[in-house]
Amino acid sequence: MPKPPVRQEAPRAATGPWTVRPASARAQKEWNQATAAEPELMSGLRERLRLRPLDRSDNPNRTHQLKPPLADKVIGDKRLPQWQHELSSSGRVFYCPDRTDRVVWVTKVELAHPQETD
C-alpha cells in the first residue's frame, strides 16, 4: 500500500517582541544620551521598536523607510533597509529591522534634526 504524500507546512511567521540593539558604539552612546535627556520619550520608542518597528498605521508620516542614499545599511554581513521614526518635530531615530532574526538595529539617535535628511 502506497504511503500518503508528506504535507509540507509553510514556516510559521515569527511572533513576539523584537530585540532592540545598537548597531555601533556611537549608536549606543547616542541612545544613552537621548535616554538621559528624554527618558519618557525614549521609553515609549523602545516599546514601539520592540513591538511594532514596521507599523506605520498610527502616523505614516512619522515612520518610514529612508530614501537613497540612506535607504539601506550593511549590518554585519546583511544589507538591511534603514527606517526612520520621528521622535518629535526635530528628533529622529534611524534603525534597520532584520525580519529574519527579529532584531531592530539602531543606527542613529538625534534629538535635533539630523543633517543627513535635509
Return the C-alpha cell found at 16. Answer: 513576539
Q: Phi and psi of 16, rounded to 5°?
A: 95, 180
pTM of the predicted protein model? 0.82
Mean pLDDT within 42-49: 95
Question: Which tens digits make up the pLDDT trace of 89-114?
Answer: 889 999 999 999 999 999 999 988 66
Q: Could you report how far apart the first and last alpha carbons of the chain are, in Å? A: 70
CATH number corresponding to 19-53+62-112 = 3.30.2310.20
Domain ranges of the chain: 19-53+62-112
Mean pLDDT within 38-61: 92
